[in-house]
Amino acid sequence: MVSLFSPFSIKSMKLRNRVVFPPIATNYGLRNDRACHYYTERARGGAGLVIIQGTPIELLTSPKWIAGLKPVVNSVHGHGAAIGIQLWMGNELPDGNKVSPSPKPGYREVSAAELKTVAKRFALAARAARDIGFDTINIHGAHGYFLHQFFSPLTNQREDNFGGSLRKRISFPLMCVLAIRAEVGETFPIMYRLSAVEFAPGGIALGDSIFFSRELAEARVDIIDVSAGGQLDGLNITSPDAKQPAGTHANLAAAIKQAVSIPVLAVGKFNNLEICEDALKQGKADLIAVGRQLLADPFWPKKLHEGRQNEVIACKSCNTLCAGNYRKNKSIECVVNKELGREYLRYEK
C-alpha cells in the first residue's frame, strides 16, 4: 500500500518519498548562501522533492544567471532529495511592455506573435533548467499569473484563437507545454500547477480544470499540481488558515486524479501525517505538497519517518510572517521557527 514514505519514480526522476516542498516565494534571493541553505535544510530534513520558488523565465534563459543556481542544485542533491524549479511569467515582456490576455488599465493585449515568442522562452528556460541539473520543472499556471489569466474567463475576453471558449482559453498554456516538451525531450518530467477553482463568480470551475487537466496529460505533462485561487481571491485560499480543515483542497486533487491517468500532487494545509496518508490511501493524490509545515519544521519528514512525532514543531497556519510578510515585500519568517531564512548562519565558516 502506498504511504507518505513510499518511493516514487517518473521518467528520469526518482524520489525517496512522496513529500514535496512546493515553490514558496521568500524574498531571500536565489543565488546566495541564504537561499542555498534554506532549500538544503528542507532536503536535509527528509523531503523527497524540493521545488525552488517561481523564477522569471527571462532569468533562466541567461546562461550566466542560471549558472548561479548550480550550488543549490548540488547541495540539495547531496542530501538525497530531487530538485525542481518553478517557471514563472508575470505581465511584462522583456522589452518592458506591460501586457495581458485582454486589455486592462495599464496593460495592452498581448499579440499572437508575442505569445509564440513567450512559449519559446518557456521552452528555453526549461531546457536550461534541465541542463544545469534540475530533475523537473513546474510550470506556474495558477494564482492569477500570466498563464492562469489565459485560462480564466475573468481575465480572457480575447476574440482570436487564444480566447473565448474553454478550449481556446487553454490553447496558449498548451502551446507552452508542447514547446517545452519539444525542447527537453521525452524523459524529463514536466509538472504543471493550476488553480482548480477560483472561488469567484464567473471564474474557473472544477469542470473546466478537469477538462484542462486531460488536455495537459494529452500534451505529455507528467504531473498535475492542483492548487486553488486566483487574482480575486484572498490570502486564505492559496494558504488555508487555522480555521480551514487539514487537507483543505484534497478533494480538488481527487476530482482531477479521477479524470487523468498521470500522477497528481495535492496541496493545501497538509500538516499532519494522518491527512497525508489518508489522501494517498484513498487515491486522492500521488504526491503531497507540504509547504508551511516545512517552513515551521524542515525536519518534519525525517521525524515522522523515524517515529519521533512528539518532536515535531507544528505549523499554526497563521500566515502571519510567511505569506503575510511576503505580501508586505519582506523576507518571510515563521512564528514557531526563528531560524527560518537564517539557516546559513549555522554553517558560516
Single-letter residue type at 325: N
Question: Is 142 within a domain?
Answer: yes
236: its cell numbers: 486564505
DSSP string, 193-228: EEES---STTS--HHHHHHHHHHHHHTT--EEEEE-
- How far is it between the farthest Cα atoms of the chain? 59
Indicate if the pLDDT at residue 239 is higher than 90: no
Interhelix angle 206-218/250-259, rounded to 10 degrees, is 50
Mean pLDDT computed over 192-204: 94
DSSP string, 299-321: THHHHHHTT-GGG--------TT
Q: What is the mean pLDDT of the chain?
A: 95
Query: pLDDT-derived band of residue 200, with 50, 70 and 90 as boundaries?
Result: confident
What pLDDT, in 10s, does the model give residues 280-291?
999 999 999 999
Domain that holds residue 118: 8-346
The CATH number of whichever domain residue 149 belongs to comes to 3.20.20.70
Question: Is 157 within a domain?
Answer: yes
Question: Is 124 within a domain?
Answer: yes
Mean pLDDT computed over 20-33: 97
Indicate if the pLDDT at residue 43 is higher than 90: yes
What pLDDT, in 10s, does the model give residues 87-116?
999 999 999 999 999 999 999 999 999 999
Are the C-beta atoms of residues 202 and 25 closer than 8 Å to each other?
no
Are the C-beta atoms of residues 179 and 139 closer than 8 Å to each other?
no
Mean pLDDT computed over 322-336: 94
Catalytic residue numbers? 145
Question: Which pLDDT score, from 0 to 100, does residue 236 have?
Answer: 58
Question: Is 116 within a domain?
Answer: yes
Strands (E), the chain: 8-10, 13-15, 19-21, 49-56, 82-88, 99-100, 108-109, 136-141, 190-195, 223-227, 264-266, 287-289
Question: Is 166 within a domain?
Answer: yes
**β-strand partners of 9:** 14
Share of the chain above pLDDT 90, in %: 91
What pLDDT, in 10s, does the model give residues 202-218?
999 999 999 999 999 99
Question: Is 180 within a domain?
Answer: yes
Indicate if the pLDDT at residue 6 is higher than 60: yes
Question: Is 2 within a domain?
Answer: no
Domains held by the chain: number: 1
Question: Is 3 within a domain?
Answer: no
